[in-house]
Structure 1
């Protein structure tokens, strides 16, 4: 099969790789319909330590079930499934509580050997607890929207939910990537009235306005903080989403959040230390967010995608064949594409 591997900074190649097979009775083998490049894939694209064996890439996909293990009960060959970016058993206490990312037998920190989603086929461990069957055909025009449910839409929703967004709240979203834009959409769905998008790429901020942003602030740093505070009457916003993951964005978030507000971080942090001392403590600022348990949110978000009420798939502005995955990385890294969808 064809699969995208990363060998070092800027070095993505699509190679011939072994096809996956059933290894455990709880496995399924999937054939990819659509996958994509994520903003978080660009972190290793910049800084990965060179590895001659390469690293199988990708974690977002919609697929067709090709084969199932003897113990799989909830999906069958031929089913179209959304594949959340973290595998989960579905039955442990964390899964039952809706925190599948901390699943005791799979989860974020447990190596599964499943391989990446930027491939023609993939093994899915814990198929019953992870895969979400959806009654559509492979050529469904809503496929881009369904693909966002494997990560970025659920992550934007996680930002809004953990931030406590509701009617009457002012919200600031830092970052105009796919997650930031879908955090704007989610904040609007949850009733926020003023939503300020901090971004400087016109095509992206225009999409942000379409999703519900009431204001756009292009400035960064102290100038950006001053602009947001001016928009919010001097006090700052009730909820601030850091959808970037770099320390300056987090520091900016602390600058624009109001006393008693919440900073919710869903951009993967690229720093180990940040300000959490008196600047946060004295103003009663809550730090929330984290890795999104997107499997827990599909029930709530899927109906809007299916009935066309929302169009989260609009974040995909380029589509390429899988064999051109390296070009997809380049386009996103150069900001020539917002989010690239791949089809085998």
Structure 2
């Protein structure tokens, strides 16, 4: 099969790899219908995260080809969407809703890699969710988004306790930030402030439910959010970038007693503890437990209640994955879908 391998920073190749096979009785083999490039894939691409002949990709959907003898919730022929973190969905931590911290948690990239034609998915019963039937082609982008970017944005909005009567501010206008706006809207937020400087992303933010746009950043951005909220700050804030500036902007934009959901992957970011201490806010974040939300998100997409697939603004064949990485790195694309 063909798959994407990152040899080193900026060095992305599509090459022939051995077809995966069932190893454990809890495994499933999925023939992928589509995959995509995640913003977090840019960390190794830029040399921030170590990379050396790494199998890339962790967002995926497709048709089950084969299952191990202990798999019972999906079968060959099922169309499935999977989480970007492997989980058994039965351990004590999973039952508490934090499948990304499952006792068997394993990130799909690296050892598995789903920017490929086939993938072996461990703990298939706990990781994969079958769709109600074979989806129409127009649903593929949206269902693919549920595998990570939509689920991550949803977790961020949920962690920030977005809901009726709440004002939500979203720091970051990338794919996850846009999905957090969609989630905040679906969760019933009264007002949604998108912090964005990019006209095209602002349009999509408004499409997904943003009521206000703030172009200022840093302290100026915080001041603008407070101006829009009577000097108090937002009830709920999402941090979807992963830099010190974005995190402190999110902290400053959150009112006392408010909630901050942070999902931006950060490296070497130092947060001043004294500022966080005196902010007097609730914080929750980290790798999103996408599996918690998958059944609900799949149904919302299936019913055409939400359309997260619009977040993909560039589609390329798998063979042109390197061009997709370059486009996202250079901010010529928000999120790239790879066809198979």
TM-score (norm 2): 0.96
Whether contact under 8 Å (1:263, 1:288) holds in the other structure is yes
Q: Which residue of 2 aligns with 1:163?
A: 160
Q: Which residue of 2 aligns with 1:288?
A: 284
Range that drifts further, 54-63 or 219-228: 219-228
SS of 1:282's equivalent in the other structure is helix
Whether contact under 8 Å (2:193, 2:211) holds in the other structure is yes
SS of 1:141's equivalent in the other structure is helix
Q: Which residue of 1 aligns with 2:308?
A: 312
CA distance in 1, matches of 2:320, 2:210: 33
Query: In structure 2, do the counterparts of structure 1 residues 119 and 41 end up closer, same or farther at CA, with 3 Å as the change threshold?
Result: same
CA distance in 1, matches of 2:215, 2:32: 38
After superposition, where does 1:152-301 map in structure 2 within 5 Å? 152-277=149-274, 279-301=275-297
Shift of residue 112 of structure 1?
A: 9.5
SS of 2:138's equivalent in the other structure is coil
RMSD across aligned positions (CA)? 1.6
Q: Which residue of 2 aligns with 1:33?
A: 33
Range that drifts further, 95-104 or 237-246: 95-104
Q: Which residue of 1 aligns with 2:71?
A: 72
Whether contact under 8 Å (1:159, 1:289) holds in the other structure is yes
Shift of residue 340 of structure 1?
A: 0.7
Query: In structure 2, do the counterparts of structure 1 residues 339 and 227 end up closer, same or farther at CA, with 3 Å as the change threshold?
Result: same
SS of 2:46's equivalent in the other structure is helix
CA distance in 1, matches of 2:300, 2:141: 13
CA distance in 2, matches of 1:172, 1:108: 31
Q: Which residue of 1 aligns with 2:11?
A: 11
CA distance in 2, matches of 1:301, 1:113: 26
Structure 1: stretches of 5+ with no match in the other structure: none
Shift of residue 337 of structure 1?
A: 0.9
Equivalent of 2:317, from 307, 317, 321?
Answer: 321
CA distance in 1, matches of 2:303, 2:136: 16
Query: In structure 2, do the counterparts of structure 1 residues 10 and 337 end up closer, same or farther at CA, with 3 Å as the change threshold?
Result: same
Whether contact under 8 Å (1:82, 1:131) holds in the other structure is yes
Whether contact under 8 Å (1:242, 1:263) holds in the other structure is yes
CA distance in 2, matches of 1:199, 1:205: 6
Whether contact under 8 Å (2:55, 2:109) holds in the other structure is no
Whether contact under 8 Å (1:114, 1:123) holds in the other structure is no
CA distance in 2, matches of 1:128, 1:102: 16
CA distance in 2, matches of 1:157, 1:274: 24
